[in-house]
Amino acid sequence: MRIAVFPGQGSQSPGFLTPWLDLDGTADRLAQYSEWAGIDLVAAGTEWDADRIRDTQVAQPLIVAASLLSWNAIPDRTGIAGVAGHSVGEFAAAAAAGILSEQAALTLVGIRGRAMAEAAAAAETGMSAVIGGDEAAVLARLAELDLSPANYNGGGQLVVAGAIEGLQALASEPVAGTRVIPLQVAGAFHTQYMAPAVETLRAAAAEVAASDPSVTIWTNRDGSAVTSGTDFVGLLVEQVASPVRWDLCMASFADAGVSGIVELSPAGTLVGLAKRALRGTPAVAVKTPEDLEAATALVAVDA
């Protein structure tokens, strides 16, 4: 079983869309995506600097647009039997699975990014990656500091979120065997701090049509496969303020007998996690159009 995975926020870098614009039709497609998302994605992906594209309301539609551009550039996707996305990458996965139209996915992710940016501005919060250590000990320390687990990424990596004071305390006195790395993000995503954004996105999602998935799709909620498009959209909404269980998604990949993984642009992070958690599983990170040949070979029906 070959699958496609779609990355989340933080995977973007300045100018990463530039080589994609050399492909026929890509510039027109990106212009359409920009209209739907309410932001100039061409400029964001080719001209804007790291600080500007780190802005939540820019990064989220930019990443989903890049994922869909690269997804559409794979000439034959019939060998892909499943999809999953990390955090905002679930919107690209939903479009790839036929749950949402591309227009609905880009429109909703534009709304999501703006709503989450607004929620983040209401309090001084942030996120840090905790590498290594005993997970139970880390979670106990988070409870002491009133911090929340935000992303269970597997491979010994947990992203935590909450008030800046708590994150600073965690960094100054880390749990034994861990490293704490502050992340350059605007707020405590996937926690209760994002509750206002959930309500905004829920209202917008109620206006879009959802179809049942054409391929297997796994949810960040608990790693399970979801067969109802309406249910998946509901999970997309709730995901804004709930932890990303990518560790459980990868466990489900293993249980399903996944034999190849293609990560769409801006790729690299999820393939890196898979190399640690799903050792020996062939994987291709589609970072530029030059990677499309390897991705196509991996997902070929007779591979």
Position 302 scores a pLDDT of 55
Is 148 considered catalytic here? no
Question: C-alpha 34: how far from its chain's center?
Answer: 19
HSE of 52, CA atoms in CB hemisphere, 13 A: 12
Q: Which two tokens stand for residue 289?
A: 């159009």
Catalytic choice (190, 242, 252, 265): 190
Domain annotation for the chain: domains and CATH numbers: 2-120+191-299 (3.40.366.10), 125-182 (3.30.70.250)
| Segment 107-123, tens digit of pLDDT | 999 999 999 999 999 99
| Segment 192-202, tens digit of pLDDT | 999 999 999 99
Catalytic choice (70, 87, 252, 265): 87
Statement: residue 74 has pLDDT above 70: yes
Is 214 considered catalytic here? no
Position 301 scores a pLDDT of 64
CA distance 200 to 50: 27
Position 198 scores a pLDDT of 97
Can you say whether residue 135 is alpha, beta or left, with left for phi > 0 and alpha for psi between -120 and 50 degrees? alpha
Statement: residue 267 has pLDDT above 90: yes
Statement: residue 303 has pLDDT above 60: no
- Grouping H, G, I as helix, E, B as strand and the rest as coil, residue 169 is helix
Q: Which two tokens stand for residue 27?
A: 């510039």
Angle between helices 229-239 and 89-96 (to 10 degrees): 170
According to DSSP, residue 225 is labeled B
- The candidate with the shortest Cα–Cα distance to 23, out of 299, 286, 268, is 286
CA distance 232 to 146: 30
| Segment 28-69, tens digit of pLDDT | 999 999 999 999 999 999 999 999 999 999 999 999 999 999
